[in-house]
Amino acid sequence: MSQRLADMRRNYAREGLTESQAPEEPFALFHQWFGEAVKTEQAPVEANAMTLATVDGDGRPHCRVLLLKGLDTQGFTFFTNYDSAKGQQLAARPFAAMTFFWPTLERQVRIEGRVMKVSHEESDAYFQVRPLGSRLGAWASPQSQVIADREALEGLLKATEARFSDTQPDCPEHWGGYRLVPDRIEFWQGRPSRLHDRLNYRLVDGQWTRERLAP
């Protein structure tokens, strides 16, 4: 098995990433790369899928794949249950890292920074445009808690459907958005011979600095 995995190599042969192609601040470059990923990545890859890493109170890291749901000059927004494992970890240590990987383009972006909750109004605005099933699921599922079996979960959903049979579900207090406010964003472009391009942006005294990292 180890030999077979060692033989699984991919030759990165797309265009590079030079300083002349990179703006002074990272958001414009992320918007460009994200737009290209939306056009090129094919199912089952979702361009807005990212790995989110958090740390619990004991310093143990945890990773999971989520979907990015918002991006502006303030940061990167995702939504979840505040009582979930990730929500408790962010309450204890409000820092996180996220990684986007776009294999067709041979690119990844690594983002690190502080995480804070968005306003309830922003969470509710997004909640209301979700499909009804997703809204009911947000009420029904005690995310990350141990449950007896699948039937127990379906029973919770049926009870929730009955609860909201005559009204639309509003946004629960235990559900909403987080915004990762970055202080570091690294753009990685695959290159031949594993000599990849890595341009790293760091926020220093309120200003972005750009530097090249060795692969």
Query: Which residues have a catalytic role annotated?
Result: 194
Residue 67 known to bind ligand = yes
Residue 90 known to bind ligand = no
Residue 134 known to bind ligand = yes
| Nearest CA among 5, 71, 64, 85 for reference residue 34 | 71
210-215 long-range contacts, CB within 8 A, separation 24+: 210/19, 210/22, 210/24, 212/19, 213/186, 215/191
Question: What's the rounded Cα separation, in Å, for the pair 108 and 171?
Answer: 33
Residue 4 known to bind ligand = no
CA 51 to chain centroid, in Å, comes to 5
Residue 189 known to bind ligand = no
Residue 191 known to bind ligand = no
Q: What is the DSSP string of 24-73?
A: SSHHHHHHHHHHHHHHH--TT--TTEEEEEEE-TTS-EEEEEEE--EEET
- Residue 43: what are its φ and ψ, rounded to 5°? -55, 145
Residue 200 known to bind ligand = no
Residue 64 known to bind ligand = yes
Residue 76 known to bind ligand = no
Binding-site positions for substrate: 9-12, 69, 126, 130, 134, 194-196
Binding-site positions for FMN: 64-69, 79-80, 86, 108, 143-144, 188, 198
Binding-site positions: 9-12, 64-69, 79-80, 86, 108, 126, 130, 134, 143-144, 188, 194-196, 198
